[in-house]
A = this chain, B = another copy of it.
Amino acid sequence: MSVAVILYHRGMSRWQPDARGRLQLAAMELYVERGFEQTTVVDIAERAGLTERTFFRHFADKREVLFLGQDELQELFVSTIAQAPDDAAPLEAVAAALQAVATEFEPRRRWSQERQRVINANPGLQERELIKLAGLSSAIAATLRDRGVDEPAASLTAESGISVFHIAFQRWIAADNTREFSQLITQSLAALKVVTAGG
Protein backbone atom coordinates (compact mmCIF):
# COMPACT_ATOMS: atom_id res chain seq x y z
CA MET A 1 0.00 0.00 0.00
CA SER A 2 2.93 2.31 0.63
CA VAL A 3 3.34 3.42 -2.97
CA ALA A 4 -0.28 4.38 -3.27
CA VAL A 5 -0.08 6.30 -0.02
CA ILE A 6 3.06 8.17 -1.04
CA LEU A 7 1.67 9.25 -4.37
CA TYR A 8 -1.70 10.08 -2.96
CA HIS A 9 -2.99 13.69 -2.81
CA ARG A 10 -1.51 14.57 -6.16
CA GLY A 11 -4.62 14.47 -8.19
CA MET A 12 -4.16 10.92 -9.37
CA SER A 13 -6.93 8.39 -9.18
CA ARG A 14 -7.36 6.67 -5.90
CA TRP A 15 -5.61 3.42 -6.81
CA GLN A 16 -2.61 2.58 -8.92
CA PRO A 17 -3.93 1.30 -12.23
CA ASP A 18 -3.97 -2.31 -13.44
CA ALA A 19 -3.87 -4.11 -10.13
CA ARG A 20 -4.35 -7.45 -11.87
CA GLY A 21 -1.44 -6.89 -14.21
CA ARG A 22 0.81 -5.81 -11.35
CA LEU A 23 -0.11 -8.93 -9.42
CA GLN A 24 0.59 -11.14 -12.40
CA LEU A 25 3.96 -9.51 -13.02
CA ALA A 26 4.95 -9.72 -9.37
CA ALA A 27 3.92 -13.37 -9.17
CA MET A 28 5.80 -14.32 -12.32
CA GLU A 29 8.94 -12.57 -11.10
CA LEU A 30 8.82 -14.25 -7.72
CA TYR A 31 8.02 -17.69 -9.12
CA VAL A 32 11.06 -17.38 -11.37
CA GLU A 33 13.30 -15.96 -8.65
CA ARG A 34 12.53 -18.34 -5.79
CA GLY A 35 10.15 -20.93 -7.20
CA PHE A 36 6.42 -21.36 -6.80
CA GLU A 37 6.30 -23.04 -3.40
CA GLN A 38 8.79 -20.66 -1.86
CA THR A 39 6.60 -17.72 -2.79
CA THR A 40 3.69 -16.79 -0.52
CA VAL A 41 0.67 -14.86 -1.66
CA VAL A 42 1.61 -12.17 0.85
CA ASP A 43 4.97 -11.84 -0.96
CA ILE A 44 3.22 -11.34 -4.28
CA ALA A 45 0.73 -8.84 -2.91
CA GLU A 46 3.44 -6.81 -1.22
CA ARG A 47 5.53 -6.59 -4.36
CA ALA A 48 2.46 -5.41 -6.24
CA GLY A 49 1.67 -2.86 -3.54
CA LEU A 50 -1.55 -4.60 -2.55
CA THR A 51 -2.83 -6.98 0.11
CA GLU A 52 -3.29 -10.73 0.15
CA ARG A 53 -7.06 -10.34 0.16
CA THR A 54 -6.93 -8.32 -3.02
CA PHE A 55 -4.87 -10.98 -4.74
CA PHE A 56 -7.68 -13.46 -4.13
CA ARG A 57 -10.20 -11.01 -5.54
CA HIS A 58 -8.37 -11.09 -8.86
CA PHE A 59 -7.26 -14.73 -8.96
CA ALA A 60 -9.11 -17.78 -7.70
CA ASP A 61 -5.91 -19.18 -6.25
CA LYS A 62 -2.15 -18.94 -6.25
CA ARG A 63 -1.83 -21.01 -9.43
CA GLU A 64 -4.38 -19.23 -11.55
CA VAL A 65 -2.16 -16.17 -11.94
CA LEU A 66 -0.01 -18.14 -14.39
CA PHE A 67 -2.95 -18.86 -16.65
CA LEU A 68 -4.22 -15.39 -17.43
CA GLY A 69 -5.07 -15.11 -21.11
CA GLN A 70 -6.44 -18.62 -21.28
CA ASP A 71 -9.84 -17.32 -22.32
CA GLU A 72 -8.38 -15.50 -25.31
CA LEU A 73 -6.55 -18.66 -26.34
CA GLN A 74 -9.75 -20.65 -26.19
CA GLU A 75 -11.57 -17.95 -28.12
CA LEU A 76 -8.94 -18.10 -30.85
CA PHE A 77 -9.28 -21.87 -31.08
CA VAL A 78 -13.04 -21.82 -31.19
CA SER A 79 -13.48 -18.97 -33.63
CA THR A 80 -10.89 -20.35 -36.04
CA ILE A 81 -12.59 -23.72 -36.08
CA ALA A 82 -15.99 -22.12 -36.49
CA GLN A 83 -14.73 -20.17 -39.49
CA ALA A 84 -13.36 -23.18 -41.33
CA PRO A 85 -15.12 -24.01 -44.62
CA ASP A 86 -18.16 -26.21 -44.21
CA ASP A 87 -16.61 -29.00 -46.21
CA ALA A 88 -13.40 -29.08 -44.18
CA ALA A 89 -12.81 -32.33 -42.32
CA PRO A 90 -12.94 -31.97 -38.50
CA LEU A 91 -9.22 -32.58 -38.09
CA GLU A 92 -8.49 -30.05 -40.84
CA ALA A 93 -10.48 -27.41 -39.02
CA VAL A 94 -8.62 -28.17 -35.82
CA ALA A 95 -5.31 -28.09 -37.69
CA ALA A 96 -6.12 -24.62 -38.98
CA ALA A 97 -6.78 -23.49 -35.42
CA LEU A 98 -3.47 -24.97 -34.28
CA GLN A 99 -1.68 -22.96 -36.93
CA ALA A 100 -3.46 -19.79 -35.89
CA VAL A 101 -2.46 -20.39 -32.28
CA ALA A 102 1.13 -21.15 -33.30
CA THR A 103 1.35 -17.81 -35.09
CA GLU A 104 0.14 -16.09 -31.94
CA PHE A 105 2.76 -17.86 -29.79
CA GLU A 106 5.72 -17.48 -32.13
CA PRO A 107 6.94 -14.06 -30.91
CA ARG A 108 6.75 -15.12 -27.24
CA ARG A 109 9.06 -18.10 -27.20
CA ARG A 110 11.31 -16.85 -24.41
CA TRP A 111 8.37 -15.97 -22.21
CA SER A 112 6.81 -19.38 -22.91
CA GLN A 113 10.05 -21.10 -21.92
CA GLU A 114 10.30 -19.18 -18.66
CA ARG A 115 6.69 -19.85 -17.76
CA GLN A 116 6.99 -23.52 -18.65
CA ARG A 117 10.08 -23.92 -16.49
CA VAL A 118 8.05 -22.71 -13.53
CA ILE A 119 5.18 -25.05 -14.35
CA ASN A 120 7.39 -28.07 -14.94
CA ALA A 121 8.98 -27.57 -11.54
CA ASN A 122 5.69 -27.95 -9.70
CA PRO A 123 3.14 -30.79 -9.90
CA GLY A 124 0.30 -28.57 -8.74
CA LEU A 125 0.92 -26.21 -11.63
CA GLN A 126 1.07 -29.13 -14.04
CA GLU A 127 -2.33 -30.23 -12.79
CA ARG A 128 -3.71 -26.79 -13.47
CA GLU A 129 -2.17 -26.77 -16.92
CA LEU A 130 -3.73 -30.13 -17.72
CA ILE A 131 -7.19 -29.05 -16.68
CA LYS A 132 -6.84 -25.93 -18.81
CA LEU A 133 -5.93 -28.09 -21.79
CA ALA A 134 -8.91 -30.33 -21.01
CA GLY A 135 -11.07 -27.22 -21.02
CA LEU A 136 -9.72 -26.30 -24.44
CA SER A 137 -10.46 -29.82 -25.62
CA SER A 138 -14.07 -29.61 -24.42
CA ALA A 139 -14.56 -26.27 -26.12
CA ILE A 140 -13.15 -27.61 -29.37
CA ALA A 141 -15.35 -30.70 -29.18
CA ALA A 142 -18.41 -28.52 -28.61
CA THR A 143 -17.52 -26.38 -31.62
CA LEU A 144 -17.09 -29.46 -33.77
CA ARG A 145 -20.47 -30.73 -32.62
CA ASP A 146 -21.94 -27.42 -33.74
CA ARG A 147 -20.46 -28.16 -37.14
CA GLY A 148 -22.34 -31.45 -37.23
CA VAL A 149 -19.63 -33.80 -36.07
CA ASP A 150 -21.06 -36.51 -33.84
CA GLU A 151 -19.62 -38.27 -30.82
CA PRO A 152 -17.22 -39.80 -30.13
CA ALA A 153 -15.59 -38.32 -33.25
CA ALA A 154 -15.82 -34.75 -31.97
CA SER A 155 -14.15 -35.50 -28.64
CA LEU A 156 -11.52 -37.72 -30.22
CA THR A 157 -10.64 -35.09 -32.79
CA ALA A 158 -10.43 -32.45 -30.09
CA GLU A 159 -8.22 -34.56 -27.85
CA SER A 160 -6.01 -35.48 -30.77
CA GLY A 161 -5.63 -31.82 -31.62
CA ILE A 162 -4.66 -31.01 -28.05
CA SER A 163 -2.15 -33.86 -28.03
CA VAL A 164 -0.54 -32.52 -31.18
CA PHE A 165 -0.49 -29.03 -29.72
CA HIS A 166 0.98 -30.19 -26.43
CA ILE A 167 3.72 -32.28 -27.98
CA ALA A 168 4.62 -29.69 -30.59
CA PHE A 169 4.72 -27.03 -27.89
CA GLN A 170 7.17 -29.02 -25.79
CA ARG A 171 9.44 -29.46 -28.79
CA TRP A 172 9.13 -25.81 -29.72
CA ILE A 173 10.34 -24.56 -26.34
CA ALA A 174 13.08 -27.17 -26.03
CA ALA A 175 16.46 -25.51 -25.48
CA ASP A 176 18.00 -26.90 -28.67
CA ASN A 177 15.07 -26.21 -30.97
CA THR A 178 15.39 -23.78 -33.88
CA ARG A 179 12.26 -24.66 -35.84
CA GLU A 180 9.10 -22.63 -35.96
CA PHE A 181 6.16 -23.68 -33.84
CA SER A 182 3.96 -23.90 -36.91
CA GLN A 183 6.34 -26.33 -38.59
CA LEU A 184 6.51 -28.53 -35.51
CA ILE A 185 2.73 -28.69 -35.44
CA THR A 186 2.67 -29.79 -39.06
CA GLN A 187 5.20 -32.49 -38.27
CA SER A 188 3.39 -33.75 -35.20
CA LEU A 189 0.10 -33.83 -37.04
CA ALA A 190 1.66 -35.87 -39.81
CA ALA A 191 3.17 -38.24 -37.25
CA LEU A 192 -0.23 -38.68 -35.63
CA LYS A 193 -1.72 -39.68 -38.94
CA VAL A 194 1.02 -42.21 -39.54
CA VAL A 195 0.66 -43.66 -36.06
CA THR A 196 -3.10 -44.14 -36.34
CA ALA A 197 -3.03 -45.35 -39.92
CA GLY A 198 -2.51 -49.05 -39.19
CA GLY A 199 -4.91 -51.97 -39.73
Interface residues of A (CB under 8 A from B): 89-92, 123, 126-128, 130-131, 134, 152-153, 155-157, 159-160, 163-164, 166-168, 171, 187-188, 191-199
A176 to chain B minimum Cβ distance, whole angstroms, is 13
A62 to chain B, nearest CB (A): 13
* Docked complex Cα distance between A168 and B187 (Å): 28
Instruction: Please indicate the chain B residues that have their CB under 8 angstroms from the CB of A123 in the complex.
Output: 131
Q: Check B198 against A196 for contact (C-beta < 8 Å).
A: no
- Among A130, A152, A157, the most chain B Cβ lie within 10 Å of the Cβ of A152
Nearest CB of chain B from residue A105's CB, rounded to whole Å: 18
CA of A157 to CA of B159 in the docked complex: distance in angstroms?
Answer: 12
Question: How many Å from the CB of A63 to the closest CB on chain B?
Answer: 10
Contact between B131 and A191, CB atoms less than 8 A apart: no
Specify which of B128, B166, B196 is in contact with A192 (CB 8 Å cutoff).
Answer: B196
Q: Which of B90, B92, B166, B192 contacts A160 (CB 8 A)?
A: B192
Please determine whether A192 and B156 come into contact, CB atoms closer than 8 angstroms. Answer: yes
Residues of chain B with a CB closer than 8 A to A171's CB: 152
Q: How far is the CB of A91 from chain B (nearest CB, A)?
A: 6
A130-B131, A131-B126 in contact; A198/B89 too (CB < 8 A)?
Answer: yes
Whole-angstrom CA separation of A143 from B58 in the bound complex: 43
> Is there contact, CB below 8 Å, between B195 and A156?
yes
In the complex, chain B residues whose CB is within 8 Å of the CB of A191: 152-153, 156
**Chain B residues near A156 (CB-CB < 8 A):** 163-164, 167, 188, 191-192, 195
- Is B128 a contact partner of A90 (Cβ separation < 8 A)? no
Q: A127–B131 Cα gap in the complex (Å)? A: 6
A168 contacts which chain B residues (CB < 8 A)? 152
List 5 contacting pairs A-B, 8 Å CB cutoff, sorted by A: A127-B127, A152-B191, A156-B163, A156-B192, A159-B167
